Copies of this chain bind each other. A is one copy, B any other.
């Protein structure tokens, strides 16, 4: 298969569609973020990349806390809105009719309509160039009761989605089951 060289590209798939929350000057604000993921298991941590000129950045700097809210497909319009507008100009929580609440940290705003909410305390910050990478220790996890099955998160109820920058900026739902992890490898029938 012929390979084409493209130079350095941010082509890591999939990128999540996340709503990052922070209190800015004491008021809740949310932005859409796709550059992020889990950074550590014990203790649970996330890594979230944010440009320093973003309004949310100001809030994270003020409080050293932020939230990660996982929107469901039902919130795709609101997520998009939070990605294209600035909290410096509009009250996004109000515009999107988010029910905002606070948890353990007291100043990391959480969106009730998002099925999962992670409260994070900044543990490290790396200035990488265009973005600052915030490594946040997850201090508490909130999940909507109706998104649990047998006490565990159920993706069929949660319905998170993906942000796809290229070719032309799309949001995609999760798709079909393609295999059971730590199990489907057996079909390879490798002789060791």
A positions within 8 Å CB-CB of B: 1-16, 18, 34-47, 49, 68, 70, 73, 76-78, 80-81, 83-85, 89-90, 95-96, 101, 103, 112-113, 116-118, 123-124, 126, 128-131, 133, 135, 137-146, 148-150, 152-155, 158, 160-185, 187-188, 190, 192
Contacts and interface: CB of A to CB of B under 8 A. Distances in A.
B40 A37 contact: no
B180 A143 contact: no
A32 to B, nearest CB: 9
Contacts of A155: 13, 164, 172
Nearest to A150: B167
B174 A73 contact: no
A84 B38 contact: no
Nearest to A81: B185
Instruction: Report how many copies the assembly holds.
Output: 2
A173 B175 contact: yes
Contacts of A165: 181
A145 B183 contact: no
B175 A170 contact: no
A97 to B, nearest CB: 9
